[in-house]
């Protein structure tokens, strides 16, 4: 780690490169899971599906945890993709972690509007202990893009129209070949649903995230920069590398 500092309530940790950042984020998350399992029967974790999470997910999935005491969730899913499509976030997470370790349960978003009520009920049944997430190029968290972000959202899960900046990022991340291939709508956990977690680990590496990181840590806390919500969380850590932190 190069340095550590705080912005409001948010702890920020700067690392030399994305590999080191992702591995240390995994170490911190693993230690927290072990700490929680020592005092409660199960732990509920929400994961993010994005290339920015690769190093974190690889390291986390190799940890010697009591996986049979962990319930897994994810935070968003496209609407309109076929079941089993490689571009679905559920498919991404199955390859990265859900299919690698023996979770007690894995709860997939189905990618249809009717799933909003079912998933909100699941979140109520399994209160979130840990969220492992990233920040988008437009500073979105999950699919709460600036036009639809609501820090006081009355819903836990909702259908949103995706911002074009967000959709372009999916092409840049090589998740889709062309912009036309990227769905226009998705299901997402809302900002209050994410911030309800007891602990948040936010992993944001790479040069394409430099502006988003700068905006997250500067200026007032505002819905036009959704990730600024992290600065109000009591137990959130932002893991960045020199490239994503280059404007700080």
Provide CB contacts within 8 A for 64, sequence distance 6+. none
How does residue 107 score in pLDDT terms, banded at 50, 70 and 90?
A: very high
CATH topology of domain 3-241: Rossmann fold (3.40.50)
Is a pLDDT exceeding 90 seen at residue 12? Answer: yes
Is a pLDDT exceeding 90 seen at residue 173? Answer: no
Tell me what the pLDDT averaged over the chain comes to. 97
Tokens of 39: 């005092």
pTM value is: 0.96
CA distances from 153 to 53, 148, 227 (A): 26, 10, 15
Residue % of the chain over a pLDDT of 90: 93
- What is the distance between the alpha carbons of residues 148 and 105, in angstroms, rounded to a whole number? 30
Q: Domain boundaries in the chain?
A: 3-241
Is a pLDDT exceeding 90 seen at residue 133? Answer: yes
What number of CA atoms fall less than 13 Å from residue 108's CA on the CB side?
16
Cβ–Cβ under 8 Å, residues 158 and 185: no
Q: What is the pLDDT of residues 176-230, one digit of tens each?
A: 999 999 999 999 999 999 999 999 999 999 999 999 999 999 999 999 999 999 9
């Amino acid at each position: 780690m190069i340095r550590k500092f705080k912005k409001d309530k948010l702890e920020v940790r700067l690392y030399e490169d994305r590999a080191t950042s992702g591995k240390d984020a995994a170490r911190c998350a693993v230690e927290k899971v072990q700490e929680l399992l020592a005092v409660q029967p199960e732990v509920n974790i929400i994961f993010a599906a994005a290339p920015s999470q690769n190093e974190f997910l690889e390291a986390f999935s190799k940890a010697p945890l009591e996986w049979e005491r962990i319930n897994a969730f994810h935070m968003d899913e496209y609407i309109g993709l076929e079941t089993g499509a490689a571009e679905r976030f559920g498919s991404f997470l199955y390859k990265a972690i859900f299919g690698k370790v023996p979770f007690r349960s894995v709860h997939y978003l189905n990618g249809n509007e009717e799933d909003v009520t079912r998933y909100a009920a699941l979140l109520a049944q399994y209160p979130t202990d840990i969220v492992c997430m990233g920040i988008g190029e437009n500073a979105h968290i999950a699919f709460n893009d600036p036009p639809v972000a609501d820090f006081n959202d009355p819903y836990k899960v909702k259908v949103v129209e995706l911002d074009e900046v967000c959709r372009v990022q999916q092409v840049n991340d090589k998740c889709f070949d062309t912009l036309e291939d990227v769905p226009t709508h998705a299901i997402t956990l809302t900002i209050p649903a994410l911030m309800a977690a007891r602990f948040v680990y936010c992993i944001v590496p790479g040069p394409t995230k430099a502006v988003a990181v700068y905006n997250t840590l500067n200026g007032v806390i505002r819905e036009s920069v959704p990730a600024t919500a992290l600065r109000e969380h009591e137990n959130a850590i932002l893991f960045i590398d020199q490239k994503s932190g280059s404007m700080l």
